[in-house]
Amino acid sequence: MSATDTPAGWRDAVEQERAKKARFFREGPRSPLPPEFTGESFPGLDYYDPDPAYRYELELHGHDDVEEVTVGTSAEGEQTYLRYGEFRFEVDGEAVTLQAYRPTDGSDRLWVPFRDETSGEETYGAGRYLDLEPDHHRTDEGQWVLDFNRAYNPTCAYNPAYECPLVPMENWLDVAVEAGERDFPGHGE
């Protein structure tokens, strides 16, 4: 999909989602932030400018043998997912493949975690996530919308009290994905 094919209002929708998340983090009673970063002390969230070049409409190549995989967590635990299929596309002319995982709870959403060349530099070192809901991330033609402008940090990026699944090595990309959420400004303080 080219930038000219981006749906009308796409940029506004991305910006509105970001503003809603910032309000929740700053003011929400269930904010994942430690108390010292909420309210007036909230440093804000940092993002790359929305770029339609990082929005893809793709076929999900389902795996013939959907296998259960164990993913380590930030708290040295484990979680299980189904390796459901893969997305194949190009980032800046480089062919890449990302595995899409489905929770083992019977949900039909897809979890697409990834690390890239920005991880640990401009973005959270452990990687970022995309969540794809069939009702919201599918085109009328049945393709999935993989929009890296909506990539977000796991909760453990804001507060080490949270346990987050780590990005499997098969989803470590050798390209920079300069889209979505950057590292949390208060990280490591």
What residue segments make up the domains of the chain, in order of their start? 3-171
| pLDDT above 90: residue 1 | no
| pLDDT value, residue 4 | 44
Q: What is the pLDDT of residue 126?
A: 95
Question: From the CB of residue 67, how many other CB atoms can be counted at a distance below 10 Å?
Answer: 9
Give the model's pLDDT for residue 187.
57
Residue 46 has pLDDT above 60, yes or no: yes
**pLDDT class of 186 with cuts at 50, 70, 90:** low
